[in-house]
Structure 1
Amino acid sequence: MNMVSQDSARANRVLGALPMVDYLPMVSQLEAVQLQPGQILEEPGAPASHVHFPISCAITLVSATRDGEMSELALIGREGLVGLPALLGAPSSAVQAVVLRPGLAYRLPAAAFVQVLQRSAAMQALALRHVQSLMVQMAQGVVCSLHHSVLQRLSTWLLFHHTVTDSDQVRATHETIAHMLGVRRESITQAAGQLQSAGCISTSRGRIHIHDAQGLRAHVCECYALVEQDHRLLWQLPQQDEGSAPLGMGPWSHADVERAADHEEDSGDGPASGRYADIYDFAPVGLLSVDAQGRLMETNMAAAIQLGISRSQCHLYRFVDFLQPESRQAFEQFHREVLSGKCRRHCELGLLPGAHRPAAVVRLDATVDENGEENRMVMVDVTESHRQMAQLLHAHGRDGVASADVPSPDGMPWWGSGAGPAATAPARMSSF
């Protein structure tokens, strides 16, 4: 079972790329809906009540004349969202959003989406990336309609539909596609016949089956490569530089999650497999495990974000690599106690600052696996509680009490373990 369920809201790439701190507050307002072909989500001039995040459906944005003639402007699948007015602050849409391929989507009230935008820089960045992708589609579509043949345009449209929906089946009649591309139905029928003769597709009533996507590439114009490249780069941006992670996500992306999911599906191991995969994967606390030598074996999303690593490469690190030097010995002792089965305490340690996060204090609770070889830990950020304790001690004139036996020669706070004085509150939390 994939860690990101195909029916999960996080299967939408905008929602899937959101940091958990931004995603979790909106979960209660997300509503799963089954969209039907031809269903209109947005009407020109009318305010939209919801923003939709496609999962298995495809939405087309079309512009129509007074005579009923229409042309497709862009196609949206699980990589994006439908709700430009709410995103751009417009009272209504100038185009129509119509369901082309039926399927699952999650919707969020437009007013709630505006609130998410106001508090989440990550959502702003992801949504605006999607807007850029739509602009590329629209601009290239204008060029394509003026300079390329119907055969090239149909091949491009089919391939892009294949990319967006990840499906070999297109549910659309020749007449519908003709409306989308702004050409005569007879021209689509003729071009489809050529593609069918070449073995690329087959047609049945209201459906087109893509048998040879690579073969279709021989018939497309250069517009497809340009749109495809932009579509691909849209979700590679967070990984361009492993040393810098935009949106506070750490150097991981939706692709990392899918690769990790494929690995676990093959192996069938790990606490993230089985029916509780989503609970493990999207838990609001860090879940991770290390082997007897302290090497990371796996992490959930929250832990990967806290550590600033790609989940698919976690095995390259030891957990102590992320700790303040003065916390490493405390963890080693805690780790030995956990593996011995005699640990009856928690451990609070200092994390090193990352490229996009400050230093932090984390609390570890742990248990050993049935073989005594794996330390499975829950990691909770308790930085704020330490900060508040330090402020309280300062207010009572007790700055040195909580960390009297925890020296900090470099001015950076770090922590011991257990429930003793060293774990309660570093006095110099202002250095965060």
Structure 2
Amino acid sequence: MSVFDQSTMHNGLLARLPTEEYQEIFGSLEMIDLRQGHVIVKANGPIDHVYFLCSGIGSVITVSSDGNKAEAGMFGREGFSPTSAGVGGTVSVHEVLMQVAGWGYRMTLSATLKAISSCPGFANLLARFIQSFASQISYTVLSNVNYQIDVRLARWLLMSHDRVDGDEIALTHDFISLMLGVRRPSVTTALHVLEGEKFIRSERGLITIRDRRGLEEFAGDSYGRPEEEYRRLIGKF
């Protein structure tokens, strides 16, 4: 089957488009490989393209005026970014970069805005994802305020695990530190806690999920509600 066949589409939003809209939009999609660290858009920078991942994980990062950074949310094959483009925005408040390498499709901003105006199913799916993503960001704030770093790390690893195939996630301690907005020694300590519980195995540049259910129980209420919101609004991850 060719990639034009919608049944082969790995992005959750594009796969759910009405067939006629998918056929209309497909010609505007450019396939692209995305290495780890690839910057999709800079904070307060113009949006040139909208990205629909098929694999890998993108991080949406808040950047302060003095250069401090912390992850606000993440997305993968279930969504798109920058989300502001979905409501006609032309500038991204956040920096968006690839946390885990992958591939996907991108559309120019002009093609995206044209599709939003001419394809109601496309516009509706983008709006639903924006609502789901807003829920995720709100729980990131809740977790940062109310939970210790080991619980926050458990939540973050579960979210990453949702967006990859298999149980291995290629991540360094430095990258996790940046994403969680904490110092590297705190990440190392938290990883040791999760390893001690046999939830994960941490090696240089690689984390393996060993006990998904145990990790979910450890994360508690910090994980799960945004994922339920996505399933309610859009469908299975």
The normalised TM-score by structure 1 is: 0.52
- Counterpart of 1:190, as a letter, is T
* 1:4 Cα deviation after fit: 10
CA gap 1:31/1:209 in 2 versus in 1, 3 angstroms: same
Mapped to 2, the partners of 1:146 and 1:85 lie a distance apart of 25
Question: Counterpart amino acid of 2:159?
Answer: F
Cα distance in 1 for residues equivalent to 2:220 and 2:213: 14
Counterpart position of 1:59:
58
**Shift in alpha-carbon separation, 1:230–1:154, aligned structure 2, 3 A:** same
Tell me the alpha carbon deviations over residues 392-417 of structure 1, each in whole angstroms, 9 at most, x when there is no partner. xxxxxxxxxxxxxxxxxxxxxxxxxx
CA contact (8 A) 1:101 1:171 kept: yes
Give the match for residue 378 of structure 1. none
TM-align CA RMSD: 2.2
Match for residue 183 of structure 1? 182
- One-letter amino acid matched to 1:116: A
Alignment partners' CA distance in 2, 1:158 and 1:207? 12
> Which residue pairs with 2:141 in the alignment?
142
Counterpart of 2:100 in structure 1 is 101
What is aligned with 1:407? none
1:6 CA displacement? 11
Structure 2 counterpart of 1:78: 77
- Asked whether 1:133 is paired with 2:169, we answer no
Paired amino acid for 2:75: I
1:229-275 per-residue CA deviation (whole Å, 9 max, x = no partner) reads 22322333xxxxxxxxxxxxxxxxx79xxxxxxxxxxxxxxxxxxxx
Distance 1:226 1:100 in 2: 22
Q: Deviations over 1:142-175 (max 9, x none)?
A: 1110111111100010001111234422222122
* Shift, 1:191, TM fit: 1.2
| Counterpart Cα distance in 1 of 2:141 and 2:171 | 22
Unaligned runs of 5+ residues in structure 2 are none
CA distance in 2, matches of 1:68, 1:221: 32
Match for residue 19 of structure 1? Answer: 18
For the residues of structure 2 that align with 1:169 and 1:231, how far apart are their CA atoms?
23
Cα distance change, pair 167–6 in 1 and its aligned pair in 2 (3 A) = farther
For residues 109 and 91 of structure 1, what CA distance do their matches in structure 2 show? 11
**Pairwise mapping of residues 179-328 of structure 1 onto structure 2 (< 5 A)?**
179-236=178-235
Distance 1:166 1:227, change over 3 A: farther
Deviation sequence 1:65-104 (CA, Å, 0-9, x none): 2443211111101110113232222221010000011111
CA–CA separation in structure 2 for the residues paired with 1:182 and 1:144: 12
- What is the rounded CA distance, in whole Å, between the counterparts of 1:183 and 1:45 in structure 2? 23
CA distance in 2, matches of 1:206, 1:233: 34
- Work out whether residues 30 and 106 of structure 1, in 8 Å CA contact, stay in contact via their aligned partners in 2: yes
Q: Which amino acid aligns with 1:138?
A: I
Distance 1:19 1:145, change over 3 A: same
Given that 1:148 and 1:221 are in contact with CA atoms closer than 8 Å, whether structure 2 keeps it comes out as no
Choose between structure 1 and 2 for higher RCO, CA contacts under 8 A separated by at least 6 residues. 2
| Deviation sequence 1:116-159 (CA, Å, 0-9, x none) | 10011111110011001111011111111011111110001000
TM-score of the superposition, structure 2-length normalised?
Answer: 0.92
SS of the residue aligned with 1:11?
Answer: coil
Could you list the per-position Cα deviations for residues 316-368 of structure 1 after superposition, in whole angstroms to 9, with x for gaps in the alignment?
A: xxxxxxxxxxxxxxxxxxxxxxxxxxxxxxxxxxxxxxxxxxxxxxxxxxxxx
Q: Distance in 2 between matches of 1:208 and 1:68?
A: 28
> Distance in 1 between the 2:96 and 2:168 partners?
21
Q: Which amino acid aligns with 2:82?
A: G
Give the aligned residue type for 2:56.
C
- Contact residue 51 and residue 113 of structure 1 kept, 8 A: yes
| Change in CA separation of 1:146 and 1:5 when aligned onto 2, cut-off 3 Å | farther
> Which position in structure 2 is the counterpart of 1:35?
34
Identity of aligned residues (%): 29
Taking a change above 3 Å as real, the CA distance of residues 162 and 6 of structure 1, as seen in their structure-2 partners, is farther
- Residue 63 of structure 1: SS of its match in structure 2? strand
State the match for 2:116 in structure 1.
117
Specify the code of the residue in structure 2 equivalent to 1:109. T
Q: 1:135 to 1:227 in 2, by over 3 A?
A: same
Deviations 1:268-320 (A, max 9, x none): xxxxxxxxxxxxxxxxxxxxxxxxxxxxxxxxxxxxxxxxxxxxxxxxxxxxx
CA apart distance, 1:58: 1.0
Using a 3 Å threshold, how does the CA distance of structure 1 residues 159 and 4 change in structure 2: closer, same or farther? farther
The whole-number CA distance in structure 2 between the counterparts of 1:207 and 1:69 is 26
Is the contact made by 1:7 and 1:104 (CA closer than 8 Å) also made in structure 2?
no
CA contact (8 A) 2:155 2:219 kept: yes
How many residue pairs get aligned? The number is 236
8 A Cα contact 2:34 2:101, kept in partner: yes
Q: Please give the secondary structure, in 1, of the residue aligned with 2:219.
A: coil
Displacement of 1:50 in angstroms is 1.0
Shift of 1:5: 8.4
1:79 partner letter: E
The Cα shift of 1:204 comes to 1.5
